[in-house]
Amino acid sequence: MKEINKNNKSFEDIKHFDENGVEFWYARELQKVLNYSEWRKFEGVIKKAKASCENSEIDSSDHFVGIDKMVQIGSGAIRKQQDYELTRYACYLIAQNGDSRKKVIALAQTYFAVQTRKQEISEKEYTSLTEDEKRFYQRNLTRKGNYSLNQTAKNAGVKNFDIFHNFGYKGLYNGETADDIAKRKGLRYREDILDNMGSDELIANLFRISQTEQKLKKDNVKSEKEANKTHYHIGKNIREVIAKNGGTMPEDLPTPKKSLKQLEKENNKSLRKK
């Protein structure tokens, strides 16, 4: 959906991904797309959205992450500027609490509602998807799962997230790190390994992610060393379950011919031609 406003920007144009592939939006950029000229007024909408989140018994800090940016002002000087990293759900709540007289707000409400619904399909709907559609669906779940796991791991004392995630991969992939997996798959430098997995392999990783988060919380882990060990053991346990059930080990599952990024680019090209 290309919502055109005075800035000629759409909600997809301003979407970002963090180092773990989790999508987010900057509040300052969303402010412009939603045609709010003053940060003060837009911040009021954010506060209402956060209150809506809390009223639904959802921790707003998981969806509205406050950050400080250093920006250059007219004189060339640098000053600190408050901003937020927003999840899709946070953007949806902001749209719901925005000025309904603005046409772009109505568009935002529809856009984020539809996109959120796409992520919550039923089991029957899932079975009717093609393999590539299942990959997109499971990849989105792993993005959200990794984001949530990282928050829990941070609370457990984790500082080096690359090492933390490698412990999980090593448990699940019989000692392979993320780099080892990428090399085995023949990927380019820094190419996302999760974007190059089939749906079954993504499901195994999603199980690793969710079970690790639950274990960290249940055991109230409070050290980086213990968190890394927990991630490794969860990955190894899942591997043992796969072996016990006669399943295919994740490293033996086929790598799709095209990454999800390639498929997305091809899809965008075909849409532009229509």
**Cβ proximity of 112 and 91 under 8 Å:** yes
Q: Are residues 20 and 102 located together in one domain of the fold?
A: yes
Q: Are residues 58 and 186 located together in one domain of the fold?
A: no
**More confident of the two residues 117 and 110:** 110
Bridge pairing between strands 64-72 and 23-26? unpaired
> Average pLDDT in the 128-155 region?
91
Q: Are residues 227 and 254 located together in one domain of the fold?
A: yes
Q: Are residues 37 and 143 located together in one domain of the fold?
A: no
Q: Are residues 225 and 190 located together in one domain of the fold?
A: yes
Q: Are residues 136 and 243 located together in one domain of the fold?
A: yes
Of 86, 118, 150, the one marking the end of a domain is 118
Buried b (16+ CB within 10 A) or exposed e, 106-115: ebbbebbeeb
pLDDT at position 5, please? 41
Residue 22 domain flag: yes
**Cβ proximity of 228 and 163 under 8 Å:** yes
Q: Which range of residues forms the domain containing residue 33?
A: 15-118
To 10 degrees, what angle do helices 161-172 and 178-185 make? 60
Q: Are residues 85 and 149 located together in one domain of the fold?
A: no
pLDDT at position 123, please? 63
> Average pLDDT in the 183-210 region?
94
Residue 101 domain flag: yes
Of 70, 87, 118, the one marking the end of a domain is 118
Bridge pairing between strands 78-86 and 64-72? antiparallel
Tell me: pLDDT of 179 over 60: yes
Q: Could you tell me the pLDDT band of residue 8, with boundaries at 50, 70 and 90?
A: very low
Tell me: pLDDT of 4 over 70: no
Tell me how many domains the chain contains.
Answer: 2
226 burial class (0-12, 13-18, 19+ CB within 10 angstroms)? middle
**More confident of the two residues 49 and 108:** 49
Tell me: pLDDT of 226 over 90: yes
Q: Are residues 95 and 132 located together in one domain of the fold?
A: no
Residue 264 domain flag: yes
Vertex 53 angle, CA 215 and 49, to 5°: 140
Residue 83 domain flag: yes
> Average pLDDT in the 144-161 region?
94
pLDDT at position 125, please? 75
Percent of the chain with pLDDT over 90: 56
Of 89, 118, 147, the one marking the end of a domain is 118
Q: Are residues 155 and 240 located together in one domain of the fold?
A: yes
Q: Are residues 174 and 63 located together in one domain of the fold?
A: no
- The number of beta carbons lying within 10 Å of the beta carbon of residue 137 is 17
Q: Are residues 72 and 163 located together in one domain of the fold?
A: no
Q: Could you tell me the pLDDT band of residue 26, with boundaries at 50, 70 and 90?
A: very high
**Cβ proximity of 206 and 270 under 8 Å:** no
C-alpha 6 chain-centroid distance: 28
pLDDT at position 12, please? 78
**More confident of the two residues 75 and 187:** 187
Q: Are residues 133 and 268 located together in one domain of the fold?
A: yes
**Cβ proximity of 141 and 205 under 8 Å:** no
> Average pLDDT in the 137-160 region?
93
